[in-house]
Amino acid sequence: MKAKPGPVAGIDYPRTYQEFERWFADEISCRKYLFQLRWPQGFNCPRCGSKTSPWVTARGYLHCAQCEGEISVTAGTIFERTRSPLKTWFAAMWFMMSQKHWASALGLQRILGLGSYQTAWTWLHKLRRAMVRPDRERLHGPVEVDETYVGGSESGSKRGRGSEKKQIVVIGVEVHSPMGFGRIRMRRIPDVKGVSLVPFVCDVVEQGSEILTDGWSGYNDLHRQGYKHSKTVLSDSGDPAHVAMPGAHRIASLLKRWLLGTHQGAVSGKHLDYYLDEYTFRFNRRASRSRGMLFYRLMEQAVATAPLPYRLLVQGNHNM
C-alpha cells in the first residue's frame, strides 16, 4: 500500500481564518470540500458503485449517471439531514479547533449566533463523537496502563475508600525511551476488576506489546491475552513523588486540570466519555500546531462518522 501523502496547508486546508472565510463562502464550496474528502480518488456511487462523475442538481445533490440516484454528499456523515447551512458547521469546527483548551456550548452559540444553547451543545457533542470513533489504530508498546478517579470529592485514595462518587477512567499511554509520550487512549469503566481493565487493553493496544502496570491484581490476565506484562511494585512508603506509572500519572493530572478548567470538574457520568474523546483527540494531535491541520483532521473524521440521533446523544450512548 502506498503511504498517503500528508495534507498540505493552503491546498487541503485553510491556513488562516481569512483563508477559511474565502474558501467556505457558500454551500457549494462546502459541499465541494466534503466531496473531495469523501472521494479523494474520485466519485464512487454508494448505491451502484459507478465511478462515473456525477452531476450536481440544482438542489445540490449528486446525480449518478449510472443508477440515476440522487446522493447527498452529507449522507452517512455527522452532517446528515442537518437543517443548518454547512457553512455554519464548518465555522463551528474551526471555532472548536481554535480553542486551545475546550470550546464551550455558550461560546459557540454566541460566536455563530445559534438560536439555542441546546443546538450548540448538540453540535459540540456530535463533533466530539467524530473525534475518536473512526480512529482505530491501536497503541503499541511499551504502554503504561493505570486508572485514575475523576470528579467527586478530592479525598480518598486509589482503589479505596472515598472513591464511590468518583468516576473511574483507565488510561493507556505509549511511553518513549528515554523520555516522552506517544499517543493515549482512555475509557470510563465501572470498576477496577480484570473484566473492565483487560478488555480495555485488548481493544486499544496491539497484541504482543509490553504493558507496564503497578502491582494491582486486575491486570494479572494480561499475559494470557498475548501481552508482555511488566509489573512495578512499589513499597508502601507513602511518598507521593514515587508513582509506579509516571506516564499515566502525568496524563491523569493533565486530564483533571483540563476538566477543571473547562467544566469546573462537573462532568456528568454519561457525558464524560465524550470529553475523554475530545481530550484524546487533542492530546494525540498536540504536534499539529496549526488550527487548519486540526480542522482538517476533524473534518476527515466527521465525514467518516455516521450520524447519531439527538435522543441517543443526550442519553450518552457513547458506544452505539
Q: Which of positions 69-98 make contact with Zn ion (CB under 5 A)? A: 69
User: Among residues 45 and 302, whose Cβ is nearest to Zn ion?
Assistant: 45
User: Among residues 47 and 158, whose Cβ is nearest to Zn ion?
Assistant: 47
- Residue 53 DSSP code: P
User: Among residues 23 and 35, whose Cβ is nearest to Zn ion?
Assistant: 35
* Minimum CB distance to Zn ion, residue 47 (Å): 4
Using the Cα atoms of residue 220, residue 167, residue 239 and residue 245 in order, give the sign of their dihedral. Answer: positive
Q: Which of positions 127-156 make contact with Zn ion (CB under 5 A)? A: none
Segment interacting with Zn ion (CB under 5 A) among 34-42, 68-76, 108-116, 135-143: 68-76
Q: Give the number of residues in contact with Zn ion, rule: CB under 5 A.
A: 8
d(CA 294, CA 307): 21
Q: Which of positions 170-199 make contact with Zn ion (CB under 5 A)? A: none
User: Among residues 17 and 35, whose Cβ is nearest to Zn ion?
Assistant: 35
* Minimum CB distance to Zn ion, residue 28 (Å): 21
* Minimum CB distance to Zn ion, residue 43 (Å): 9
* Minimum CB distance to Zn ion, residue 34 (Å): 18
Query: 3-state class of 83 per DSSP?
Result: coil
Are the C-beta atoms of residues 194 and 223 closer than 8 Å to each other? no
Per-residue contact flags (x/-) with Zn ion for residues 27 to 66, judged by CB under 5 A: ------------------x-xx-x-------------x-x
User: Among residues 48 and 306, whose Cβ is nearest to Zn ion?
Assistant: 48
* 249 phi, psi to nearest 5 deg: -60, -45
d(CA 96, CA 66): 39
User: Among residues 62 and 103, whose Cβ is nearest to Zn ion?
Assistant: 62
C-beta pairs of 186-195 under 8 Å, 24+ apart in sequence: 186/255, 186/276, 186/279, 186/280, 187/273, 187/276, 188/269, 188/272, 188/273, 188/276, 189/147, 192/147, 192/159, 192/168, 192/216, 192/218, 193/218, 194/218, 194/219, 194/220, 194/221
* Minimum CB distance to Zn ion, residue 46 (Å): 8
Are the C-beta atoms of residues 9 and 16 closer than 8 Å to each other? no
- Decide if residue 202 touches Zn ion (CB under 5 A): no
Distance, CA of 74 to chain centre = 20
Would you tell me which residues interact with Zn ion (CB under 5 A)?
45, 47-48, 50, 64, 66-67, 69
